[in-house]
Structure 1
């Protein structure tokens, strides 16, 4: 019995090749466990050529969990497998959510990349949340950050201690968080992974903006590498409320007994500034774990009716509809202190009241 396409030490679930058990004449039993808990046991039968195929991607592409959206370290899921039959074989590997088309093995990709496809330069507001996620597969690496000041100087700090091998590390890259590391205002900053004075990854840059045009909506989503990205769509937003009356006949009268409340938003992304940004936005639409940021709170959403059309060489924007996963017809409108009305008498002796939110109202 020979095993082909054994999983390497590190794998992406979406890039797993089919394991092949060759040179057998009778069925073999395949067992797969995650962190010591068995998740599948299957009898595999050989084809006429004496080959039994185990479709690893089908087993794990959906099953591998995405680490939580929390700052800190989390272990990469460890999977063990065994094959018994005419002989016995076993092994283990660490598997991550998602996959890529970079044309290199997972270990090579992980060593030199963050778990994101976002543009390397991001324009951000002070409190817009950002996270950077990295998998440590070699010892001695750490997050580094360099801030740049308006006078042309800069300062560099460690953003973490040494990262433990075999763990996924997430740092808070929000401007407001990074600003607290410096003794004065920074205009932009770079984050990268460094080991023994050598940069292992590309540099991720964040540039502070005074504001954004249009109707900005921030969305956070689980990307196709098992990280979390934040995207800002600045196009128009249309509020759509669709209450449905639920009624029944009581004593020959039709009465409403409830209302099925559905509220959604039709959103336009606005024009994308370049091709790479547009292609990265497709990661948002392929995600099944998406949130809308409203009043500093992340609300889980569902997306429907995406219109993802683009003509080569022309400015492009997408359109979609989203709704909160948890909805209610009950309201929570803000209430603020009302300032006293300001009385003004004009030269003709006419009395007027001024209110902060309205036009002058003549007294009656």
Structure 2
């Protein structure tokens, strides 16, 4: 048998380290791949699905973590491959009941809700982020970049007739793409044939742009100061490459104009606002009869032959009729209102959230229709108070004792 000295062993080891060819580490290969996923920005109802395909048959599952902004929906949920080595994740089912928009208090840009999906197994980890907007449009309509650019997030008709005091909000999606700036403008039309134009808001960062486009805010003071008689006004957008770029630089008129035609008010007009199924907020006028129908239960007990009230659950409930519905567009808007779960009443110059408890809808084609619904305020405090002030000195009319209709000559 051959013997090795210590010196020989060391020399052999050294020579091996020196002369052996260098073996490169094999690059890491993904053990799964995504073969279908939604657009980066999408409605929650149109979010679609992700399909994962297994590339390593020795692995039987992946682990999924879902986050909605900073909230964890599920953590390392185990998902198993089917017989075709696929996993299908219906993203719509994860988020469609979790999204509700906060009522806008002022014009500005609201951040998107971000859905984050992290998929991992023993060798591969991938994370995907989607910008999600509450709502959706009917399939098979595809919502892409052009759709976001052309449309406000409203189900109102493109031409709306309304009283001048009716508040209006519009929302539009702003994505990080060219052109960089979105300028929202308004044009006023008057009986004198004079037109006025003003800039409302310019957005540069991505998000949902929510704009107060009420006539009282935009044009009331101008009409009073210039003694103009308003007829209508438009709201539209321009896509610009620079914040200082003039409107005449050939920019696209996106989103397309929304027109509001002004009418005189009706003493029965009541204004409601609701979150629509596009993630925006629409207002609508009910001109039908409003009836107060309070409900509640009174708990009592009898002590020594005397009945005493313990509690009184009085609740003011209003039954509201929409008034005659004059078009299919307004009918669809009222149906959207009844479908919504985020609704408000405009009363005394402020918005009060309401809960709709009942509704009756019978819609006949080619006929005058009206809907009826019951609602109450979400806050128990109905604000039935007012601030007192100093009273003026009493003044009696000079012809106090003279009644013209029965005056004797």
Q: TM-score w.r.t. structure 1 length?
A: 0.87
CA distance in 1, matches of 2:148, 2:376: 34
Aligned to 1:116: 154
CA distance in 2, matches of 1:333, 1:65: 33
Measure how far apart 1:252 and its partner are. 4.1
Aligned to 2:323: 270
CA distance in 1, matches of 2:92, 2:272: 29
| Pick aligned residue for 1:73 from 109, 128, 135 | 109
Question: CA offsets per residue over residues 40-93 of structure 1, 9 Å max, x none?
Answer: 222112233322222211111122342441321122123322211263332222
Unaligned runs of 5+ in 1: 346-350
Measure how far apart 1:231 and its partner are. 0.7
Measure how far apart 1:329 and its partner are. 8.0
| Pick aligned residue for 1:279 from 332, 342, 352 | 332
Aligned to 2:194: 153
| Pick aligned residue for 1:135 from 159, 173, 178 | 173
User: Which has a greater percent of strand?
Assistant: 1
Q: TM-score w.r.t. structure 2 length?
A: 0.78
Superposed, 1:33-48 pairs within 5 Å as 33-35=67-69, 37-41=71-75, 42-48=77-83
Measure how far apart 1:37 and its partner are. 4.8
Q: Is the 8 A contact 2:169 2:282 kept in 1?
A: yes
Q: Is the 8 A contact 2:36 2:52 kept in 1?
A: no
Superposed, 1:279-298 pairs within 5 Å as 279-298=332-351
Question: CA offsets per residue over residues 197-248 of structure 1, 9 Å max, x none?
Answer: 2212221111222222x62111111111111111101011111122432201
Mark the structure with the bigger radius of gyration: 2
CA distance in 2, matches of 1:29, 1:289: 35
| Pick aligned residue for 2:233 from 189, 194, 212 | 189
Measure how far apart 1:319 and its partner are. 0.7
CA distance in 2, matches of 1:74, 1:220: 19
Bigger CA drift: 298-307 or 27-36? Answer: 27-36
CA distance in 2, matches of 1:160, 1:148: 20
Q: Is the 8 A contact 2:110 2:208 kept in 1?
A: yes
Superposed, 1:192-203 pairs within 5 Å as 192-196=236-240, 197-203=251-257
- SS of match in other structure, 1:284: helix
Superposed, 1:243-322 pairs within 5 Å as 243-322=296-375
Aligned to 1:31: 65
| Pick aligned residue for 2:268 from 215, 218, 221 | 215
Q: Is the 8 A contact 1:74 1:169 kept in 2?
A: yes
| Pick aligned residue for 2:92 from 40, 45, 57 | 57
| Pick aligned residue for 1:96 from 92, 108, 133 | 133
What is the total number of aligned residue pairs between the two structures? Answer: 349
Q: CA RMSD in A?
A: 2.7
